[in-house]
Chain A
Amino acid sequence: MEILGNLFYGLGIALSPQNLLMALFGVVLGVAIGAMPGLGSVNGVAILLPITFAVPPTSAIIFLAAIYYGAMYGGAISSITLNIPGASTAVATTFDGYPLARRGKAADALVTAAVASFIGGTFSIVLFTFFAPPLAEFALRFGPPEEFAVVLLAYATFAGLGGESPLKTLIATMLGLLMSTVGTDIVSGSPRLIFGGITGFYHGINFLVLAIGIYGVGEIFYTLEEGFKTKERYQAKLGVQEIISTLKNLRQCTATIMRGSLLGFFVGMLPAAGATPASFMSYSIAKRFAKNPQEFGKGALEGVAAPECANNAASTGSMLPMLTLGIPGSPTTAVMLGALFVWGLVPGPRLFVENAEFVWGLTGSLYIANTMAVIVAIFAVPIFIWMLRMPMTILAPIILVVCAVGGFSPTQDMFDVYLMFIFGAVGYIFRKLDYPLAPMVLALVLGGLTERTFRQSMIMSHGSPGIFFDFAGHPIAAVLMMVSVVLFVLPLIPMIFRFRVSRAGTSA
C-alpha cells in the first residue's frame, strides 16, 4: 500500500494551486495545438519547452505532460471536423471520424473521441502508478553495456516501424546520430566537427533546434504548399442532449476501448514505438473483432473510439520508460527527455528515490490533467473550430515567429535560429521524399547517451566488443543485443528479396 500512499502524496503535489494552474494552462494549450492542422504534441512540447525553464521541474513536467494529454484530445478535433489530422497520432481517427462528421454526426464523433481518450488515459495511468516502481527497481541493474543495449533496441524498434524505405530510415537515424557528435568529444574533451571553428557548433546541436525546425518550420512549409486547398468545412453542433445520447451509444464500444487501452499502454511503453503505431494497431484490431467490419471507414463509432483510446493510453505508457530508463517511448517523450536533462534530472531508478516529489507529482497530475482534458475538449470545441477557421495566412506567420523565438531561447544564440530554419527546409524536403523524421530526432536526443555508454563499455572491457554479448557477465545486455539484431535484420529481408525480384524483372 506504499504505492497508494505515494499516489496521495503525488495528488497533493499536483493539487497545489501553481501546479493545478500549470496543468490547466498546459491542457488548454495542448488541445489548441493538437487541434491545429499539422501541429501535434511533439510540436507543442518542443515549441513551449523554453517556457518551462522558468519554473521548478515538477511544475514544468506537469505542464509538458498536460500539453501531451491535451494534444492527444485536440488532434482528434481537426481529424473529425476537417479531415486534417491534427497530429500523426490522430491520422487513424480521420478514417471514421470524418465520415461521421459528413453525415452530420460530428458531435457524436467528438464526444466519443473525448470519452474514449479519457478511458484510455485513465486505464493507462492506473497501470503507470502500479508498474513504474517495479520497472524502476529492475532498471537499477543497468550499467553502461545494458544501457547501450537498450538504446540500440530503441533504434531497432524504430527501424522496424519506419516508413516505406528501411534504407531511408537508416539514413535518418545515422544523420541524427552524426549531429549528436558535433561539439566536444566526451572522452578526450577536444572539439570536433566544428568546421573550421564555427562558434555555434561548439555547444553542439541542440535537439530542440532540430525538433522545432523540422516539426514547426518544416510543417508550415508543408502546409503552405498543400493546405490552402482545404475548403470543405462543417460546423460541429454540440449540446447537452448530443453528449447524453452519445454516452448511451458508447456502451457498444466498451470492448473496443478496453482492448485499445491495453494495447496502447504496452505499445507506448516499448522504446520509440509511441502513440501513432498504437492508434493504427488498435484501429485494425477493432475492425477485426467488430460485428460490423463493413461499417469501418464509413462512419463507425468504434472506428473513432479505437485509435483515440489507444493514443492516449500510449502517451502515458511512453512516459514510463522515459522516467525509469531514460528511453523515450515516442517522439514527444524524446523531446521531454531532452528537457529532463536540461533541468539537471537524470532519468532512471534513482529519479524515483532522489526526486520522489517530481515522479509522484507527475503521476498525480496525470489523473488530474486527464480529467481536465476531457472537460476542456468537450466544452471548448466551438472555440477550436473558430481557431481552425483562422486562415493559414494569419496562422502561418505567427507560428514561424514562435518557432524563431523557441529556437533562440534554449541557447540564446542566433546561430541556432539560422540552423533551425535550415533544418526546417531540409526536413520539408526529406518529408516529401519519404525520409522518416522521427528517427532523426530520436537519434539526436539519444546520440550522446549512445556514444557515452558505448565508449564506457569499451573502456570497461579494455576495448573488446565482446562485453555486449557476454551472457555470463551481462545477461540483460546480451539478450537485448540479440533482440535488437533480430529487429534490425527483419526489415532487411523483404527488401533484399524485393531487390532481387526487381533485378530479375529488368534483366528478363
Chain B
Amino acid sequence: MQRADRIVAIGLILVSLGVAWKATELPVGILPKEGPGGGFLPFWLSLGIAVVALLVLLQSLFRSGQNGSSMVDSGVFMSREGLGDLLRVGLPGMIMILLIGIISVYFSAALFIFYCLFIVGGHNLKTSVGVSIGVPVVVYYIFEKFLIIPLPKGYAEFLFYWN
C-alpha cells in the first residue's frame, strides 16, 4: 500500500511538472493593470500540486517502519484474487469502450454483457442472451427514439438506416 502511495505521489509530481511546462505557452505572470495572465492559474496550480505531492512522498518515506502512523493502511494495495476479478471485467470493459467507435455502442455492449454474464458470471445461455440483447434495445429506444440523441455507431452505421 505504501509503495502504491509513493508511486502515485511520484507520478503526480511528474505529470504536474509536465503540465506546468505546457502552461507557459500563455503568460504565467501578473500583467500590469489586468491581473494574472491566461497561464497563471494552470502554471501555479500544477507547481502547487507538485510541491504538495512531494510532501506526501516525504511523509510516506519518513513514516515507514512506524506502525499505525502511516496515512494509508499498511496492508497490500490489492489482493491477487481482487486484481483477478478486476481484470477479468475491467480489461474487457476497456475493449468494449474502444469497440464503441468501430462496431457501434449497441453491438459492443451486447458482446460485453454476454461475456460478463456467460463466461465470467456462469449464467445460463438464456439469461445471458436475454440481458445482452435486452439492454442495448432499451438503450436504443431511450436514447435514439425518446431523447433523439444519436449514439456512436462506427462502421455499423448502415445497419441503422432502416428507420
A binding-site residues for B, Cβ under 8 Å: 50-51, 53-54, 164-165, 167-168, 170-171, 174-175, 177-178, 181, 185, 187-188, 190, 192-193, 195, 217, 220-221, 224-226, 228, 391, 393-394, 396-398, 400-402, 404-405, 408-409, 412, 414, 417-418, 421, 425, 429-430, 432-434, 451, 454-455, 457-459, 461-463, 499, 502-503, 505-506
Are B152 and A414 closer than 8 Å at their CB atoms? yes
Range for the number of chain B residues in contact with chain A: 35 or more
The reply to whether B112 and A397 form a contact with Cβ atoms under 8 Å apart is yes
Instruction: Please name the residue on chain A nearest to B32 by beta carbon.
Output: A463
A51 cross-chain contacts in B, Cβ below 8 A: 142, 147
Interface of A is mostly: helix
Shortest beta-carbon distance, B129 to chain A, in Å? Answer: 13
Known: A51-B147, A414-B100, A455-B35. 14 other contacts (CB 8 A): A178-B16, A178-B42, A192-B25, A192-B38, A228-B85, A394-B127, A397-B112, A397-B116, A400-B93, A405-B151, A414-B152, A433-B72, A451-B41, A461-B35
A50 to chain B: closest CB distance in Å? 7
Inside 8 A of B31's CB, which chain A residues have their CB?
Answer: 463
Min Cβ gap B77→A in Å is: 7
Q: Which residues in B have their C-beta under 8 angstroms from that of A187?
A: 34, 38
Q: Please measure, in the bound complex, the distance between the C-alpha atom of A178 and the C-alpha atom of B135, giving whole angstroms.
A: 37
Task: Chain B residues near A188: list those with CB within 8 A.
Answer: 26, 37-38
- Residues of chain A within 8 A of B36, CB atoms compared: 454-455, 458
The verdict on A401 contacting B112 (CB below 8 Å), with A195-B22, A421-B97 known, is yes
A59 to chain B, nearest CB (A): 13
Q: Which of A190, A402, A405 has the most CB of B within 10 A?
A: A405
| Closest residue on chain A to residue B16 by CB atoms | A178
What sequence of 0s and 1s flags, for each residue 122-163 of chain B, a beta carbon within 8 Å of any chain A beta carbon?
110001000100011001001100111111100000000000
- Count of A-B contacts with CB under 8 A? 188
Pick from B23, B113, B120: contact of A401, CB below 8 A.
B113
B146 is contacted by which of A54, A190, A417 (Cβ under 8 Å)? Answer: A54
Instruction: For B136, list chain A residues within 8 Å (CB).
Output: 401
**Could you list 17 examples of A-B contacts with CB < 8 Å?**
A54-B148, A164-B71, A168-B71, A178-B42, A178-B45, A188-B26, A225-B82, A396-B116, A409-B149, A414-B100, A432-B77, A433-B5, A454-B41, A455-B35, A459-B34, A461-B35, A462-B33
CB pair A404 B45 closer than 8 Å: no
Which residues on the B side are within 8 Å of A228 (C-beta)? 85
Within 8 A of A (CB), among B86-114: 86, 89-90, 93-94, 96-98, 100-101, 105, 109, 112-113
Instruction: Verify A178–B62 contact, CB threshold 8 A.
Output: no
Asked if B56 CB lies within 8 Å of chain A CBs, one says yes
> How far apart sit A503 and B69, CA to CA, in the bound complex (Å)?
12
Does A167 contact B149, Cβ atoms closer than 8 Å? Answer: no
Residues of A within 8 A of B45 (CB): 174, 177-178, 181
Closest to B79 in A: A225
Q: A224-B86, A226-B82, A459-B34 are in contact. Are A193 and B117 (CB under 8 A)?
A: no
CA distance A469 to B112 in the complex (A): 57
Q: Is the CB of B49 within 8 A of A224?
A: no
Q: Is B74 an interface residue (CB 8 A)?
A: no
Give A466 to B85 CA distance when docked, in angstroms: 55
| Distance from A179 Cβ to chain B, minimum over Cβ atoms (Å) | 10
* Complex Cα spacing A348 to B28, Å: 32
Decide: B121 and A391 in contact? CB cutoff 8 A: yes
How many Å from the CB of A508 to the closest CB on chain B? Answer: 12
CA distance A178 to B17 in the complex (A): 12
